[in-house]
Each structure stands twice: as structure tokens, then as C-alpha cells.
Structure 1
């Protein structure tokens, strides 16, 4: 039996995975209204499936019968696995895990759905760090296949094995990651997004960048993706970076966008404009002017940028950071990184994932392109030094994997 803390978008989506697999779930919230809202959303999702003929009415009833709710932590005392899906802030997680440590039965698995926070610090809020693990579901959690299972410094082997088994049962593709900022997927996507920002400074438009990478085969480009996820999420991460890594270089365009309150689809305006009830991304004159004004401020004369350069800078940024992740032992093999990108980030399946694609292009060619990008004064030269692992593989005539 499973306990889920938080009945928001994430908590509700996570819950549905277990109900679909016939596993009873108890959702905990602080207020009855929040519970009612969450349950209504789960019902709405299932009713849409029934309407489309994807789910039989009796199955829908069976699933809902497995769901119960509570406003008190003590009601989670019998759960075998408890997953928190609360606000992405360490102070909030601390309160939750101290309560879980108090009420959960011995041997219960305590999981955090954090997407970037330090799982070891979260585990330290309990007297049982061996039972704490990260289960990073991707949004919408009832649709996306990927589950990053984050192994903490103290996570016990049986806990890791159990979570990997449970992932199969709820039909997820589970990939084990070590503890670092952003784990595998988000640590790499940050470098990809940074390159997208530099390309705007140098002369590209959001539409051109998105079109080029979508033509390469991505489900959506970085700017459409930002609008869908919410640009304020990246903004919060950059503010945290400014304190922790003041030397990290970014284009200022994304911050300027957020200062205008353009957080994406949820506000009807982001990198693109949106019409109510539609998801079509409409190019925005206001955003184009903001980018032009920003270039003038920096004294940059825009240049013509080829689609080939856009694709190489975005994809090779993933590859270089992926190589660092392998060196750091965060991922145990390059195929794990490829699975993360194929199942969680819309990387074109027929290209096999970023690391596999780099093998096909030839690591020598990838490294030469990186050295070329390092000479661009508007880019981040330090980032484009090919990772030691890439240099080693090139020297030995070998590949990832």
C-alpha cells in the first residue's frame, strides 16, 4: 500500500500510476479543499479515458475504490511506500520527512519526488536514511514513462531493488541516478537551455531555434518546452545559481521575459503568445523586440545562424554534460542517459539518445565542434572544453557504451 503526500498535479498523477496497477493509495493533504480538488482532477482524467473508450466503466470504479484520503500523518502508519510530492523547497521537505520518520512503520520506504534537491540532505531529516530514496516522476506523471530513481549515499540495496521492481509494476522506465543538482535529466537540460539563450543573444529567434531542433526530431524546442513547463521554474533555479555559482554565465533574455510576467502557457504568454483554450505557439513581436533591445544593450550585432549550428550546440551541450555525469558516477552507463532523454525529454527515438547519436557522428567530430564553439566570445568557453572522458575515448579510438 502507498501513501502520497500532496494532491496537486504531481501527487494526483503519481497516485493514478498505482491505482492503475491495482495498488491502494492514501493521499494526504493539509486542507479538505485541496483534497477535494485533487480527487476531482483524478476523476476527470479517468472519465476522459472512459469517454474515449480507453477505460471500461467498471475498471474506473475499481480504481477509485482503491483510493482513500486523510488530513493527518498518523493515517499513513501502515503504508509500505510513502512518496512526497510537495513544494520544491528544502524547508517544506524537512517538515514532511520529520513527520514521516515519526509515523511510518519500520522498513517503510520513504521517497521524495524532488527534481533537483539533495536527496542526502532530505534523508538526514530522518533517523533512517537507509530507507530514503528519490523517485523523480516526470510531468504529467500519469503519462510520462520516465522515472529517475535517485540513490542516496545511505540508500539500502533492498530499498533500491524494491523501488526498481515497483517501477516495472507501474509500467515506468526506471533509471538509477546518483545525487547531484538536477540528477541526470535536468542537469543536462540546463546546459541545453543555456545554449538556447546564447543563440538568441547572437542573432537567432525563439522560432528559429525551436524549428531547427524540431526538424532534427525533438518533440518540441527549448522555448516551447519552457512555455509548457513554466518559465518561472528556470527563473527560480537561476536565482539559486546566482548565489551558489555566481560565475555561471547565462543569457539575460529568460530573466527579462519572467520580469514581464510571461511565464508561458499558464499565463497565456511566454516566449510565444497563446490564445485561451489553445496550445498553438504564436510568435510574439513584443518578445522579438525585447531580444533586439537586449542585443543593442550588449552591443551585439546579430549574425545569421544556421540550423546546423543550432542543432550541434544544443545536442553537443547534452553530450558534454552527459560525459561529465558518467565521469562523476552519477549515471552508471551511457545507455541510461539515452533512456532518460528518449523517455523523458522528447529526444528523437530513431537517433537513439544523445550519447548514441554522438557515437554515430564520431566522438572526434563532436570534440572538434566543441573546440570551435569554445572560440565564440559570446558563448561559455570553459563549458566547451571536451569532457576528459570524451578526450580519452577519442585518443583510444573508442565510443560511449
Structure 2
């Protein structure tokens, strides 16, 4: 693990500052004048929908929040009110300002209330059938020029757009939880997304104070696509002998805001299991995210159930190791014939971080991401990668790509062609040119790394 020296930190922060400026631009693209957006609809009043609604209310937009379940709608309203109340208690808002924000919120179960919305964001559960059903409803009631966005974290935005008669107005706006706090939005440009829709997405993202990074369509987009091999290695290490606390501790010592197993508990182990169930052509390896499946089968969904990879205090949510988890993992390893052993912190960091970097190189090769610095923005702004290390691709350059490539080969993963070429040339991710064909349709048959 490279030490964070003052010089390295300064270089990393300069890199990220330039990266966020670059993320606002696309090669060969002049943004048309974005249609004005004042009234925003949100479908789904769960945690994500409520956070998205609060983000727009904070920026003086009018918001229509819809949930077909009356109890769910009431909980969403209560959640939004709580967000503003906490801001009042912390001195960030006056009581009058909080009330003004709530005054711009309309809660409804009537789809027709979206008839005059300029933008509607779907934020329902991750399931393609459900999302297509929602977009069918929106197609029936929204204006033909209204922008329609899905908050899906992984699913095929082209497939969702196909459920409408106007796919040119459909794109992804992937917010991160809690949406009213996290600064990142992945703007997912589908095959038929118009320039006007893309310009509107940039404009509204900036208007609500978020950093927008454009991704092309591909399972998991940029962030969650890379999260999978990172999490895969973390969970495989559990079977090989590491404990959840050791894996998380090694990566938190590197500077990650939270280790991958604690993140899984926070996000909900059940959510991850269901998202992976939607993945096309999943790996056949029986160890692939097996620990998560074992927790899911036992009703251990994470913080929401008081137990996941850790056990949680009901009052403070403080995490503590759970011997029951260690026993489950040992039994699963024996069933797969995996001999458990002592695992070093350095191995944990190498396997998780180099798997992450290798997948980042692969999605750059495929054209899912435009430039390596976009990947760095996504991971520092959305996933807690330490800013002092500049993001995963900048960190790889700091370590040296020949070193990263060598270790990828040692661990037996398929080396991403871009990483292989750059390592052979003695080059860097930072030195690669952004793709001039980023706005062109993606070729079929893209292959994953790892």
C-alpha cells in the first residue's frame, strides 16, 4: 500500500478537480439549449425516491411524488419532512425555509398528476418488468416532450426506453443513497437518447448541486459494474479465511470510507442479491457472491434487520463481529473444498483494488466510460474511494500499470486489453485520449474482464 505523501495527495486533488471539469464535456458535442425544467415527478416514495424528491425541493423545483401504495406514500412524505427537520435542527435551514420546501411537494397516487411535469424520475424496485410497466404508465400521461428518467442502478436503459413510444426522451439518472446527500449522479445515455434530453440531464444535475458523469448502457454502468469484481474478491476472501472485519479493516486502512461488507450491510444484502439476479450471463462459479446469498437465505439483510455480515446495535447501529457468520462461512468453504488459511491485509487490498482497476480498464475499452478520469470521479464521489489517492485509475498510475498488470495475471484474472497495452507501453491511464466515438452506438458482444 503506497503511503499518502503530501505531494501525492496534492497531485491527486488537482487531478480530481480537473476530472470534474472534464466530466461536464463530451468530445465533438455541442449541447443544445436545454428545455426548461421546473416541475419534476418522482415515481416511488421509498428511501431513494424520497431522497431524490428532497434534492429537487432543496433547489426550488416543484415536485410531484407518486406511490401507488398509500402507506408507502405517507412514509415517503414523513421521510422528506424528516430530512428538512434535521436540517433545521442543525441550523442549515430556518423553519420557514423548511416549510416552503414542503409547500412545493405534492403527494399523489394519481398518474395523471404528471401531465404537466417537465421531468419524471422512476425510483421503484430493481426489476425490469416493473420498470417497463412504470414507463408504460408515464408514456400514457406525460407530455411528448417531457424527459423520462430511470434511477436504475444496473439495468438495461435501452430495454426500459423500448417500453415507450418516444425512446429519444429516455435516459438514466442514477442517484446514490442517500440521494439528498450523495453528490454523484450517473447520467446514462441510451442508444436513442436525444441531444436535448442529454443537455437537460446535465442542466438539472448541475441545478441540484450534483456532479454528473455520463455512462453508456451496460449492466451496472460505471460504478456498479466495477463494484462487482471488487465485491466478488471481498466475498471470496471470506471463504478463503479472512473475516468480514479483516476485509473491511484492510480497505478502510487504505482510505475507503467504508469496507465492502459494511457497505453491503448498509445498502441491504437483499438488494444486491436481487440486482445480481437480473444480471445477464452471470458467472457459473459457485463461490460467486456465495456469502451474500447465505446471509440472504438466513434473513440477514444488513442494518435493516439488525444482522448481516455483522450484528448491529438497535440504538446506535454500531457493528460488531458475529461468530455465527464465521461458522456459516467455514461450513460453506468446506462444502466447496476451499482450504481456509491466513490471509494478509496486503493480499486483501491487492485483490479487491486490482480487480476494481482491471474492470475499470475493461469498461473504458468497451466505451461504457469516456475517460479514465470519469471513472475516478464516480468512485471518489459515489463509492468512498479516498480523494487523497485520486480515484482507482489515478491510483493505478501511481502504483505503475506494469505492476498492476503483473498482479492481475498472478491472480488468474483475464487481463483487460487496455491495461495490457498500456502496461506494455509503459504508459498510463491519465495519458490515454478520450474516445472520439463515445456518442456513437456501442458495438454488440462486449466481453467482461476478470
Shift of 1:246: 4.9
1:197 to 235, 244, 249: 235
How many angstroms apart in 1 are the aligned matches of 2:102 and 2:299? 38
**Alpha-carbon distance change, 31 to 231 in structure 1, aligned in 2, over 3 angstroms:** closer
Which of 351, 355, 370 matches 1:313? 351
How far did residue 294 of structure 1 move? 2.1
Match of 1:244 in 2: 281
Large movers: runs of 4+ above 6 Å: none
Q: Tell me, yes or no, if structure 1 residue 400 matches structure 2 residue 437.
A: no
Native 8 Å contact 2:127 2:278 kept in 1: no
1:162 is aligned to 2:200: yes
Distance 1:298 1:95, change over 3 A: closer
Matched residues in 2 for 1:295 and 1:74: separation? 53
* Residue aligned with 1:176, SS: strand
Give the TM-score taking structure 2 as reference length: 0.84
State the Cα distance separating 1:238 from its structure 2 match: 3.9
The match for 2:167 is 129
Q: 2:428 matched to 1:390?
A: no
Tell me if 1:222 matches 2:260: yes
Deviation at 1:52, TM superposition (A): 1.6
CA contact (8 A) 2:155 2:278 kept: no
Aligned ranges 1:5-84 → 2 under 5 Å: 5-84=43-122
Q: Where in structure 2 are there 5+ consecutive unaligned residues?
A: 1-38, 431-450
Contact 1:191–1:317 at 8 Å: present in 2 too? yes
Write the deviation string for residues 262-285 of structure 1: whole angstroms up to 9, x where unpaired: 111111111111121222111001
Q: Which has the higher relative contact order, 1 or 2, with Cα contacts under 8 A spaced 6 or more apart?
A: 2
Give the SS at the match of 1:188.
helix
Write the distance in 2 (CA, Å) between the matches of 1:279 and 1:365. 39
**TM-score, with normalisation over the residues of structure 1?**
0.95
- Change in 2 beyond 3 A, CA 1:95/1:252: closer
Q: Partners of 2:285 and 2:204 in 1: how far apart?
A: 38
Structure 2 CA distance for aligned equivalents of residues 300 and 132 of structure 1: 46
Q: Aligned equivalents of 1:102 and 1:247: distance in 2?
A: 41
Aligned length: 391
Structure 1 unaligned residues grouped into runs of 5+: 375-383
How much is the aligned-residue C-alpha RMSD, in angstroms? 1.4
What does the per-residue CA deviation read over 1:74-128, in whole Å, with 9 as the maximum and x for residues that have no partner?
1211111111111211111122111211111121100111111110011011110
**1-structure distance, mates of 2:268, 2:43:** 23
C-alpha deviation, 1:400, in angstroms: 0.4
